[in-house]
A and B are shown apart, each in its own frame.
Chain A
Amino acid sequence: MAVREFAERGADLQLVGIQKRFPGFTAIESLDLTIPAGSFFALLGPSGCGKTTTLRLVAGLEEPTEGRILIGGADVTATKAHQRPVNTVFQSYALFPHMTVIENVAFGLRRRRIGDATSRAHEALKLVELDHLAQRRPQQLSGGQQQRVALARAIVNRPALLLLDEPLGALDLKLRRQMQLELKGIQEEVGLTFLHVTHDQEEAMTMADTVAVMNRGAIEQMGAPAELYDLPRTAFVANFLGQSNLLTGEVVGTTPTSIAIDAGGHRVVVPVDRAQVHRGRITVGVRPEKVSLHREAPAEASDRNVLGPGRVIDVSFSGVSTQYLVEVAGIGTLLVFAQNIGIGPVAALGDEVWIGWSVEHGFGLADLAPDEGRFAADDSTSSLAVQAREELVAELGES
């Protein structure tokens, strides 16, 4: 039985005061992190934020400039990659092209001189449902199959800690969704500790128990996916994890339960316990799907924020919902996601509308929102490389 075969539990990982400097730049400023045994932990961040460097430090492929790495309580900072009880599923899969699939999977077992390596390898291949392709070469497999072989090659060793370096980045959307579910299933089945590095916020939220959002070599915020989404602490998290409407203004009134700011002449209220900073100039935000659209000015209510009148400057229909871009004088543009459930107002381009949301859905950030790029679209599910290429193509097309 596969479950019994991989019954060994994962170990916890501790990073203590990690710093990594490369000639010319600092990849990781200062990182303290504890990942409990058996959890599925995701490191989420844009490219260049230091998440892959963190992974490589844990794998032993890089040495930290400062700090210690502990796996299951044992200090492994000074050990080499091949001495650590850690396996990696590489972004490129890095399946050995000169070996068959089964030889690839058995590679780690043979290095550790574990008996009946071949039958264990077959068992791991059965887990990822690829045992019938055991004699093929990796380059004869599709991307999704290669990804599963890479996964089998890593978990067959029953590592204390499994590192996943954007393993789904090269797959198309449908396959990626399927692999996300499979990976999560395997993690629950084998009970290993997974450390998953990704720039795909949806992937991180669907799969991980705990998500840490990394930016510029430091962790901005860490927590359960729902918690992070509901109450982002910084403007970076608010915009990287989903999208947000951010409003900046001076605090003009405080009650024991709420604080009010003046954002371009509009009064916006947030609950005190959902705001990180309570005085001075602060930024508050609300998720676009929590905002509702009104064709007429709604009645003032103490538990609702209302902005308006504004003008609809863009409408885009996406099946499940419709996205409205509303320009409000003194504030700028705000994004509204309206579910297409057949009730509620429908606005057309150029219509005058009011928007409102429940006070309890707002959040106050610890830092100020940057002035530009508030609505930089990051809901794209294509990988960063693909996005970069599309941008380049668009740029070349213009000139």
Chain B
Amino acid sequence: MAFAAFATTEAQPQAPRRRSRIALFLLLPGIAYLILFFLAPLVSLLLTSLQQPNEFGDIGVYDYGFNWQNYVDVVSVYWEHIVRSFGYALVATVLALAFSYPLAYFIGVTARRWPLLQGLMLVLVIAPFFISFLLRTLAWKQILSDESFIITSLKALSLLAPDAHFTGTPFAVIFGLTYNFIPFMTLPLYTTLERLDLRYLEAGSDLYASPFTVFRKVTVPLSMPGIVAGTLLTFIPAAGDYINASRDFLGGPDTQMMGNVIEANFLVTLNYPAAAALSIILMAAILVIVGVYVKRSGTEDLL
């Protein structure tokens, strides 16, 4: 139920608990998997982030230690990238929500009477997944490049200055992020709106609420689980994204996000501790932001 997210948990009866060895045994593969592929790399990452350079070693050789200075260094060097990452992710999330909500509402509510149209539109939302994320972003680079038809036409019409670029600007990166995450926003929104009981909307208008007030006071609160799920599915990966902002795709030197910096530190300058420290900061920041957000939106049950 969509409303389960709003139900206070205290009223729910406690399910009878049975301690069983079989249950523990069945959990073993999952626990082993988590330890091996989540916990161990996380600990390794944490240890790497505290490493210090080997005094006599080559570039990229580090010793284990407790070099907290790494964190201070990366924040002071890369604070711009950190702020930019979350700024871009936030703007992209808001834009994706603004685009996806009407779309999801149309598919889930307006198109209820025409199941065929509903199915067709859902397929269109999912269709981009059939093509690689990289290819699609690369295609946008072509479409938006300086020599492309769109940009040359805009320049010909003097809507764009003759020396203007689109790729390499923050607009292009945010555009790419928004475009790539729209399906992740639309699908959870669709699943809640599809179950939205229209009788609540009728009750709202019966109680003197104008269509806009009904939307604000009834539709939005009832679709909150979808909004929260969609924004999380968009914001978290967008904050760590390193494809769209990359110089090889839609970004430029001035649009680098945390993902790009981590990539460069790991793969180019071989500064593993800095990359690890940045990764930990990214993860911790997302955890804090998401935790506060979910707490405030009152949909704890989603976590």
Give me the interface of A with B, judged by CB distance under 8 Å. Answer: 59-61, 80-82, 86-88, 90, 92, 94-98, 107-108, 111-112, 137, 139-140, 153, 157
A96 CA / B210 CA spacing, docked (Å): 16
Contact bitstring B209-224, A, C-beta under 8 A = 1, else 0: 1110110011001101
Q: Which of B11, B202, B207, B222 contacts A98 (CB 8 A)?
A: B222
Question: Given A94-B199, A140-B11, A82 and B206 touching (CB < 8 A)?
Answer: yes
A108 CA / B207 CA spacing, docked (Å): 5
Closest B residue by C-beta to A107: B207
A139 CA / B213 CA spacing, docked (Å): 23
Interface pair A82/B6, CB less than 8 Å apart: no
Interface pair B205/A81, CB less than 8 Å apart: yes
A96 CA / B213 CA spacing, docked (Å): 14
Q: Flag whether B8 is at the interface (Cβ < 8 A).
A: yes
Question: Given A97-B3, A97-B6, A137-B6, A90 and B207 touching (CB < 8 A)?
Answer: no
Tally of B interface residues using CB under 8 Å: 25
Q: Flag whether B156 is at the interface (Cβ < 8 A).
A: no
Closest B residue by C-beta to A94: B203
A288 CA / B33 CA spacing, docked (Å): 76
A123 CA / B95 CA spacing, docked (Å): 45
Q: Flag whether B284 is at the interface (Cβ < 8 A).
A: no
Interface pair B203/A82, CB less than 8 Å apart: no
Q: Which of A88, A137, A139, A140 contacts B206 (CB 8 A)?
A: A88
Interface pair B208/A111, CB less than 8 Å apart: yes
Rounded to whole Å, the gap between the CB of B269 and the closest CB of chain A is 51
Chain B residues closer than 8 Å to A107, beta-carbon distance: 204, 207, 209, 217
A96 CA / B7 CA spacing, docked (Å): 12
Contact bitstring B159-203, A, C-beta under 8 A = 1, else 0: 000000000000000000000000000000000000001011011
Question: Given A137-B7, A137-B8, A139-B7, A94 and B208 touching (CB < 8 A)?
Answer: no
**Among B3, B205, B213, which residue has the most Cβ atoms of chain A within 10 A?**
B205
Rounded to whole Å, the gap between the CB of B159 and the closest CB of chain A is 41
A82 CA / B205 CA spacing, docked (Å): 5
Interface pair B202/A82, CB less than 8 Å apart: no
Chain A residues closer than 8 Å to B210, beta-carbon distance: 82, 111
30 of the cross-chain contacts (CB-CB < 8 Å) are A59-B206, A60-B206, A61-B205, A80-B205, A81-B206, A82-B208, A86-B206, A87-B207, A88-B203, A90-B202, A90-B203, A92-B199, A94-B199, A94-B203, A96-B204, A96-B218, A97-B3, A97-B6, A97-B200, A97-B222, A98-B6, A98-B221, A98-B222, A107-B207, A108-B207, A108-B208, A111-B213, A137-B6, A139-B7, A140-B11
The B interface, classified by DSSP as helix, strand, loop or mixed, is: helix
A88 CA / B200 CA spacing, docked (Å): 12
Chain B residues closer than 8 Å to A111, beta-carbon distance: 207-210, 213
Question: Given A139-B3, A140-B11, A94 and B202 touching (CB < 8 A)?
Answer: yes
Chain A residues closer than 8 Å to B214, beta-carbon distance: 82
Rounded to whole Å, the gap between the CB of A13 and the closest CB of chain B is 16
Give me the interface of B with A, judged by CB distance under 8 Å. Answer: 3, 6-8, 11, 197, 199-200, 202-211, 213-214, 217-218, 221-222, 224
Question: Given A86-B206, A87-B207, A111-B208, A94 and B200 touching (CB < 8 A)?
Answer: yes
Chain B residues closer than 8 Å to A92, beta-carbon distance: 197, 199
A98 CA / B204 CA spacing, docked (Å): 13
Chain B residues closer than 8 Å to A95, beta-carbon distance: 203
Interface pair B202/A81, CB less than 8 Å apart: yes
Q: Which of B7, B202, B207, B213 contacts A153 (CB 8 A)?
A: B207
A195 CA / B169 CA spacing, docked (Å): 64
Rounded to whole Å, the gap between the CB of B232 and the closest CB of chain A is 20
Chain B residues closer than 8 Å to A97, beta-carbon distance: 3, 6, 200, 222
Closest B residue by C-beta to A80: B205
Closest B residue by C-beta to A93: B203
Interface pair A157/B7, CB less than 8 Å apart: no
Chain B residues closer than 8 Å to A112, beta-carbon distance: 208
A153 CA / B204 CA spacing, docked (Å): 11
**Among A80, A107, A140, which residue has the most Cβ atoms of chain B within 10 A?**
A107
Rounded to whole Å, the gap between the CB of B95 and the closest CB of chain A is 26
A379 CA / B7 CA spacing, docked (Å): 40
Interface pair B206/A87, CB less than 8 Å apart: yes
A90 CA / B206 CA spacing, docked (Å): 10
Rounded to whole Å, the gap between the CB of A96 and the closest CB of chain B is 6
A153 CA / B214 CA spacing, docked (Å): 16
**Among A60, A98, A112, which residue has the most Cβ atoms of chain B within 10 A?**
A98
A92 CA / B202 CA spacing, docked (Å): 12
